[in-house]
Chain A
Amino acid sequence: MLAAIIALAALAAVFGIGLGFAAVRFKVEGDPLVEQIDKILPQTQCGQCGFPGCRPYATAIAANEAEINQCPPGGEDGIVKLAELLGREPIPLNPENGVAKAVPTVAVIDENICIGCTKCIQACPVDAILGAAQQMHTVIATECTGCELCLEPCPVDCITMEPIADTPRTWRWPLPASEPQTAEAA
């Protein structure tokens, strides 16, 4: 009887110490939720969600102040990922926030029309427009997120959104055309 108690107590002590040590030694610094949400958001910084950028929206989602379906650039994929992360049900994109783009776009400045007013430069959330007052402006295409925030301030409407064309390097293999039926269906 006593031997059993002592044995169990000893075991408990050993395991307790072991677990306690492990808890301290191998402590995993979990990503704060906002960071994780922000990582899923597409970082276009377009403000279509109604928040001034992706991070404020992530903060609002984490605080349960916003739905997860307010990000059109993230599309359905983004909503599904957010739903997975937050343990919520995926919901369709809120049409009030806009519609997902079929193809990614990039802003293109028509340099012949541009008057060099710098308004688009101030509007760009990622500083992807180059130029100076009375100098021609141009978009750094690789840095443009396609947020369209530069369209509105342009006094001469010289900015257009162009779809990003596939190149041999960005081309994706499609799924085979004729998908075999599933065993269940057959």
Chain B
Amino acid sequence: MSLMQRLFNFRGGLHLDYRKDMSTRHPIRVAPVPPQLVLPLSQHAGAPAKPVVKVGERVLRGQTIAQPDGFVSVPIHASSSGTVVAIESRPIPHVSGLAAPCIVIDTDGRDESLPAPEWAPVDDFSALDAKTLRETVRRAGIAGLGGAGFPSFIKLSPGRSVETLIINGAECEPYISCDQQLMAERADEIVGGVQVILQAIGAPHCLIGVEDNKPDAIAALRAAAAQDERIQVRVVLTRYPQGGEKQLIQTLTGREVPSEGLPLDIGLVVHNPGTARAVYRAVRHAEPLTARIVTVTGGVVAQPQNFEARIGTPMQFLIEQAGGYVQPPGRLLMGGPMMGFALPSDALPVIKSTNCILAAAPGELRPDEAAMPCIRCGACQEACPVNLLPQQLYWHARGGEFDKTRALNLFDCIECGCCAQVCPSHIPLVQYYRHAKTEIWAEDREKRKADAARERHEARQARLEREEREKEEARARKKAQLAARKADADSSEAPPAAGATPADGTDDPVAAAIAAAKAKKAAAQTADGSAATDDPVARAIAAAKAKKAASTDNSNATTPADDPVARAIAAAKAKKAAAAAGGPAEAPVVRPRKAPPSDDAVAAAIAAAQARKAAKAAGTEPADAPPADDPVARAIAAAKARKAAAEQAQDAADPVAQAIAAAKAKKAAREATTAPASDDPVAKAIAEAKAKKAAKEATASDNADDPVARAIAAAKARKAAKDAAATPADDDPVARAIAAAKAKKAAREAADKPDGAS
């Protein structure tokens, strides 16, 4: 042995009973195409692929049926020809036993390949550059076939100079023989793959590490690699876990991969022989990864052997091909007895990382003995190949002190199971470590999510502040404009403006209403009112004031006042409420406090503005309410909408809530019926009576929003009625007639409907 071939060693580890000869008696058999293929979208580490086929579509072997989503992802190809019958969640071979999205293909038995491969096969790949090779490997959907399923193309783009490529042919776990047989039977393809990978990563040479219990594989590889002096086959001692990536590196090079690091950190890249072969076939024959070697073995399998099985083949189909069970299996595992995991059933598909299906007889593997207390013997520590303190890790993992397990380098644990194997108390140590690892990952995820939430919340706060500032500025501008316009206005308009001013700053609808009422009164008092009416400036001012008061009132709510959606909701609600209440929608119902007789334009404007405000308070705009032509009616609709909205905000879909809301709206309407007191003497009289009644009701009844508002409303109603009586008749007979009719109808309805609400 030359110095070059000197082998190092790793600490710990075990000699196990390998039982590999069970499955190596027959050569690799190509498994037939099963009737149905189930292809999980996530067979690799990283993001699941995205389906690019539809249910019912016919697919051919080698056709891409799912594209990678993101960088750490690879595509998935149809393993045979057939029809996509479902894209749905199916149980996948995962330790959690959970389901994940899969593409299900009913095969047609013809196994038709694509007429032309999706990329061109290349005879002489030495002419290809690294980028093309990587892209080919990615398009072929190759993920590490050793078990972890890491997308291989990423390992082909190391981003730094690589000293040595290592092919991990140690296959140290008992029972599994897929790599062994592949190396023995397809050594030339593996060597071809090695050459492709060397080309892609620009490494000067390659070491193929094979345990000394696989002489046929060693001989075949040596023969195949004889032509290429870059490739050396190294025989390593048979010792578990020799096939651990980091252990093999230590054995072959004497160097250790740093804690929580990658082999690349010390200039090494490790691939599995199956991956090398898949790379070769992808480049040389333009074949995507649609099949892999799977060992089907175990004490209850009639003829244990290795299959070249299509990805997506149901495991039970492979077991049937191997002669079926001789007795019901005690344990069904994917992977080996040391690092594999239990499967809930054999109705799961073979995926890219399925190296072995192990159906063991009861008691064939480690007996299921009840765990005993830890006696602190330290055997686990001696067996650990990565120099950890399994016992300490166990205590902390069990106690939920995950930060301490992390400090003890939990993440360097390769979960080889040596510690649990030697534990005299049969403590399932590895499960504790896996538990701790997944808990830490979950915690990290939560932390990341919390950080993102904090960031988003802060960004939102900043945005709201900015918007508020902008609104404030706009408000100031508007105020200045208003002041300028006020100066232009007739001096006779000053009192109403002054009267309305207090409303500007308030955010209370009651106060706003008081201000509005004052404005109206002042307007009526100033001369004969007609002067005010005819002055559009005054009207505009009043309207603007009212609007502003309304917007101040709503400054806390960010709903845009003119939001058509809100309006639509309000309208719909008002309609609904009205319908439920027996149709008082047309009734001239206005809440008493906004009862100004609509004989003067200022008052009308105020009413309109108030209506808008009321609507806004309910997140609504009355424009859509049916009688949109008439400010009074608008106000009515708005008030109703508001009431209805407020009352029934809880659940519009719930009929009970709806009915209650409607009833309340109706009552509110009735209560307010008095108000719109029009200028018609009849209506006026009715209004007077109603106002009194309303006042009485308002003070007495418990259905108004709050006692203050109620009292004010009552007072307002009375005054409004008086005003209505006193003011000269409006000049518009049509409006008068409508108002009168509405008042009448409202009165009738109010009389019809007994006090149902509250």
Contacts and interface: CB of A to CB of B under 8 A. Distances in A.
Interface stretch (A5-13, A61-69, A87-95, A167-175): A167-175
B399 to A, nearest CB: 11
A118 interface: yes
Nearest to B395: A182
A180 B372 contact: yes
Interface in A100-152: 113, 115-119, 122, 125-128, 133-134, 142-143, 145
A170 B372 CA distance: 30
Contacts of A157: 650-653
B453 interface: yes
Contacts of A173: 95, 431, 434-435, 437-439
Size category of the A interface is: 35 or more
B373 interface: yes
Contact of B398 (A53, A133, A179, A185): A179
A170 B442 contact: yes
Contact of B452 (A55, A119, A143, A156): A143
Interface string B541-568: 0000000000000000011100111101
Given A43-B450, A172-B438, A182-B373, A125 B652 contact: no
A178 B375 CA distance: 17
B453 A44 contact: yes
A185 B374 CA distance: 12
Given A45-B453, A186-B373, A119 B98 contact: no
Contacts of A122: 558-559
A178 B100 contact: no
Interface residues of B, number: 55
A117 B375 contact: no
Contacts of B6: none
Contact of B451 (A43, A45, A156, A182): A43
Interface string B365-376: 000001111110
A155 interface: yes
Contact of A174 (B427, B435, B437, B456): B435
B457 A172 contact: no
Contacts, number: 127
Interface string A34-58: 0000100111110000000111000
B453, B461, B563: residue with the most chain A Cβ atoms closer than 10 Å: B453
B326 interface: no
A133 B457 contact: no
A172 B439 contact: yes
Nearest to A165: B98
A22 interface: no
A143 B453 contact: yes
A38 B454 contact: yes
A134 B100 contact: no
B457 A156 contact: no
B559 A156 contact: no
Given A126-B457, A175-B435, A117 B566 contact: yes
A168 B435 contact: no
A183 B373 contact: yes
B446 A180 contact: no
B569 interface: yes
Given A126-B460, A145-B453, A156-B653, A118 B563 contact: yes
B617 to A, nearest CB: 14
A118 B432 contact: no
Nearest to A180: B371
Contacts of A118: 559, 563, 565
A134 B564 contact: yes
A155 B652 contact: yes
B746 to A, nearest CB: 27
Contact of B559 (A45, A119, A143): A119
A45 B442 CA distance: 20
Nearest to B560: A133
B457 A167 contact: no
A175 B375 contact: no
Nearest to A116: B565
A170 B569 CA distance: 41
Contact of A115 (B96, B375, B565, B651): B565
A20 B149 CA distance: 55
B460 A125 contact: yes
B94 interface: yes
Given A115-B565, A171-B95, 19 more contacts: A43-B453, A44-B453, A113-B653, A115-B568, A133-B563, A143-B452, A145-B449, A155-B569, A167-B98, A172-B439, A173-B434, A173-B439, A175-B398, A176-B427, A179-B371, A180-B425, A182-B373, A183-B374, A185-B373
Counting from the closest, the 6 A-B pairs by CB-CB distance are A171-B96, A43-B450, A43-B453, A172-B438, A126-B456, A173-B434
Interface of B: 42, 92, 94-96, 98, 100, 370-375, 398, 425, 427-428, 431-432, 434-435, 437-439, 441-442, 445-446, 449-454, 456-457, 459-461, 558-560, 563-566, 568-569, 619, 645, 649-653
